[in-house]
Amino acid sequence: MNKKAQIGIQETILVIFVFFIVLMIGMIFFFQLNMKSIQNDIDQYNEFRFKQLIDIVPNMAELRYSKLGVEDVYCIDLLKARAFSEISSEYDFGKKEIKLISGDEIVLYSKIGRGEIRKVTSPVCVYDPRNGKFYLGELDIGWWA
């Protein structure tokens, strides 16, 4: 083989090698960017599910006020909430803390996590069947992100 052919083959091999290195760097950058995008989507979905709890918890049959089986008032029954707080460990809401504050504080669910805590509060109607009166309470939901 002559010297010009060897130099041409070496240049071709060097160009292919550099091309693959640039291609690998580009793929690594693309996959890291894609993973960050996926993680942001997961965080947004978890945030959405967390904020849905503010609507789901008062509508749970275990907590909702009903008179003779008719649910006509969007309200939480205080005695049901106290009973639910004793058996709430059987439920899995994730690493969250759910409290009902109405005169006294009732921890409906608590599974403490680590990291930053996010909170959402909402006013709710609370019915006390002992005296048959409706009160204004606050539903406080905390989530560890």
What pLDDT score does 32 carry?
Answer: 95
Using the CB atoms, write b or e for 106-125: b if 16+ within 10 Å: bebbeeeeeeeeeeeeeebe
**Strand order across the beta sheet in which 133-144 lies:** 76-77, 117-128, 133-144, 96-102, 104-110
Domain encompassing residue 78: 39-144
What pLDDT score does 132 carry?
Answer: 85
Calculate what percentage of the chain has a pLDDT beyond 70: 95
In a domain, 90, yes or no: yes
In a domain, 72, yes or no: yes
Cα(136)–Cα(96) distance, integer angstroms: 23
Give yes or no for a contact between 100 and 139, defined as CB atoms under 8 angstroms apart.
Answer: yes
Which of 3, 4, 6, 26 is CA-nearest to residue 14?
6
In a domain, 103, yes or no: yes
In a domain, 123, yes or no: yes
Mark out the alpha helices in the chain (DSSP H runs): 3-56, 78-87
Query: In tens digits, what is the pLDDT along the chain, a chain of 145 residues?
Result: 678 888 888 999 999 999 999 999 999 999 999 999 999 999 888 888 877 888 888 888 888 888 776 666 678 889 889 998 888 888 888 788 899 998 888 898 888 878 788 888 889 999 988 888 888 999 998 888 7
In a domain, 127, yes or no: yes
In a domain, 78, yes or no: yes
In a domain, 83, yes or no: yes
Calculate what percentage of the chain has a pLDDT beyond 90: 26
- Provide the domain count of the chain: 1
In a domain, 58, yes or no: yes
Claim: this prediction has a pTM higher than 0.75: no
What pLDDT score does 20 carry?
Answer: 95
